[in-house]
Chain A
Amino acid sequence: GENVEQHPSTLSVQEGDSAVIKCTYSDSASNYFPWYKQELGKGPQLIIDIRSNVGEKKDQRIAVTLNKTAKHFSLHITETQPEDSAVYFCAASGDGGTSYGKLTFGQGTILTVHP
């Protein structure tokens, strides 16, 4: 089955700095890679996603890059703000059949943005 590794497990930055979180996956059939932000006591909130036919996607301060050859993808947050502090999860899934929408998650990164 799919295995997703996420690094670092904790990340501390100063407000205004950039934050980068990296994930690797094992199943070359995976083609959908979402990122979720989870605040304490809440459910995962989708912040950005990318599909395998795209190498990079950007949404305001958030960007995701995908390298299918190397089987890794990264989340980039620029101009970080204290409200970006949360746990971030990467995930991967295949397409079609029983793998449709079945996500394998990374272990999570605790991001702390210091004012």
Chain B
Amino acid sequence: NAGVMQNPRHLVRRRGQEARLRCSPMKGHSHVYWYRQLPEEGLKFMVYLQKENIIDESGMPKERFSAEFPKEGPSILRIQQVVRGDSAAYFCASTDVGGGNTIYFGEGSWLTVV
């Protein structure tokens, strides 16, 4: 029973480039969340998606960040024109409608902007 799968695990980008992070939720899960963890801090909610819908993006920076969860394929977190302050661990989590809020996290994607 595969858990939440994220890739790449580590990504290095130069300032101004684009970063794309992918997340495949646990089998049977239709709710996906993205969280960001800055060095030595807790996790901060970014966005909540269901298939083809953004439910809550209140934690997303207003510019350069976008997320999608298409009908087919993984959820994508896209960061355009990255800056050094985007360096962080990005975690995806998933749950299902009947899961009673139990939320499972992936192993994360570590983005380093140089």
- A interface vs B, CB < 8 Å? 6, 32, 34, 36, 41-46, 49, 51, 89, 93, 95, 98-108
27 example contacts (A-B, Cβ-Cβ < 8 A) are as follows A42-B108, A43-B4, A43-B105, A44-B43, A44-B105, A46-B102, A46-B104, A46-B105, A49-B101, A49-B102, A89-B43, A98-B48, A99-B56, A100-B31, A100-B48, A101-B31, A101-B33, A101-B48, A101-B93, A102-B33, A102-B45, A102-B48, A103-B35, A103-B43, A104-B45, A105-B44, A108-B41
Check: B86 CB closer than 8 A to any chain A CB.
no
Q: Which of A101, A102, A107 contacts B41 (CB 8 A)?
A: A107
- CB < 8 Å A-B pair total: 66
Across-interface contacts of A89 in B (CB, < 8 A): 42-43
With both chains docked as a complex, state the minimum distance between the C-beta of B87 and any C-beta of chain A, in angstroms.
15
B100 and A98 within 8 A (CB): no
Q: Contacts A43-B107, A44-B105 hold; do A105 and B42 have CB atoms under 8 A apart?
A: yes
With both chains docked as a complex, state the minimum distance between the C-beta of A77 and any C-beta of chain B, in angstroms.
19
